[in-house]
Amino acid sequence: MRIAMIGTGYVGLVSGACFSEFGVSVVCVDQDRAKILRLERGEMPIFEPGLEQLVGANRAAGRLAFTTDLNAAVSGADAVFIAVGTPSRRGDGHADLSHVFAAAEEIGAALAESGAGRTVVVTKSTVPVGTGRRVEQILGERLPAGRFDVASNPEFLREGSAIEDFMRPDRVVIGTDSEHAKEVLGALYRPLYLLETPIVFTALETAELIKYAANAFLATKITFINEVADLCEALGADVQDVARGIGLDGRIGRKFLHAGPGFGGSCFPKDCQALVRTAEEAEAPFRIVDTVLKVNEARKRRMAERIERICGGVEGLTIAALGLTFKPNTDDMRDSPSLSILPALAAAGARVRAFDPEGMAEANKLMPEIDYCADPYETMKGADALVLITEWNAFRALDLGRVRQLLNQPLVIDLRNIYKPEEMRAAGLQYHSIGRGQVTPS
């Protein structure tokens, strides 16, 4: 089987590499010639654990190739996946579908020119309900019925564990009205049948909505436990015990019940916004998700105020921050809480020093007022407070005695609840976390 993947961003590159690992012949296409040249040299444009090795192995095996020539990639392909960006549109929060529709037009022109047989065109990008029908219209302007089929196959990849998520997914969702598309995509995902992975076939519109509904629910779950954490602090309860107590209920589940500074990343914020706008236009307001967005944005802003309050003001202080990306095991800075927290501290008069294992190059473009350091301990040397923003593994076992020695003041503010309060007390550190109260040195 042969497929083309249009777009070598996060979704396209990971999906293309993983399909090639299944034994499929994959050609990934991108207009960015510099990116394609980097990929051909084995240089990854994103950080994702295991991706470089996966790409290298399948390129060496001849199953994975990169090109800027969309016509050549599409010609003879059994399926063509559209995996281009759908960022939030400025002004109204809708998903910007211009790249999706432009790709559909190019695919239609390429298929018309090639005279190839029947091709399944699949939207892999996260798109609002109705996008697949518009792609169908665009293709139909150039191709006769029977030359193409349209399907939706939304991705459910978590940055930092995307390869595992692709290879061992909870489910695969395929939306299409075409029996031929079902057969082609069913064959493409056949290796997952060995793992008894559920393959959910739905209507086109249903598949598009499933992706948005899933992300909105997870964002709601995060926001819920964050508000529970605030209540725990007010009442003297422990949010981690509450999360465990409710998470053991099979109807609720343990995942996404970790209190923190608010969600970020490339998916939850923009997908929630797009769902809210879609619901408004359908005259079926999604009030819960609208509130989730507002609460989450306010929470990220309040984290800077929280740090200022704990420090008794930050003007003239040096603040050490560990973690810049929105989550560990990625270099993605999009909508990261650090982008709200650290500039606010700098604006309040603090000198901010920071370290992140993968995110500093991008962070430096977005926050040039921050000083970036070579390692965690250099960051905290002579600082008046240490703030933990992202829960990288590299920060989970810091030498607490050394931390105490390096800091001017023995103050640690943990926005991810990485450490146990008792060990921080024993190390002589004043410790503030989320939803668990304050710990003073013993």
Q: Compute CA distances 61 → 5, 11, 20, 261, whole Å.
A: 18, 22, 9, 44
* Burial class of residue 34 (count of CB atoms within 10 Å of its CB; 0-12, 13-18, 19+): exposed
**Which burial class, exposed, middle or buried, applies to 148 when counting CB atoms under 10 A from its CB (0-12, 13-18, 19+)?**
buried
Strands (E), 148-191: 148-152, 172-175
Q: Report the C-alpha gap between 192 and 81 in whole angstroms.
A: 19
CA–CA separation, 343 vs 102, rounded Å?
Answer: 37
- The DSSP letter of residue 95 is B
Q: Give the bridge partners for 361, in sequence order.
A: none
Residues 6+ apart with CB under 8 A from 234: none
Q: Give 404's contacts (C-beta < 8 A, 6+ positions apart).
A: 410, 427, 428, 429
φ and ψ at residue 371, rounded to 5 degrees: -90, 130
Maximal C-alpha separation, the chain: 77
Q: Are 33 and 66 in contact (CB under 8 A)?
A: no
**Does the active-site annotation cover 373?**
no
Contact (Cβ atoms closer than 8 angstroms) between residue 424 and residue 400: yes
- The rounded radius of gyration (Å) of the Cα atoms in the chain is 24
Structure tokens at 88: 């939030």
The tokens of 143 are what? 């191709």
The distance of Cα 215 from the centroid of its chain, to the nearest Å, equals 10
Start-to-end Cα distance in the chain: 65
Of 267, 272, 311, 373, the active-site residue reads 267
Give me the amino acid identity at 297. E
**Residues labelled as active-site residues:** 267
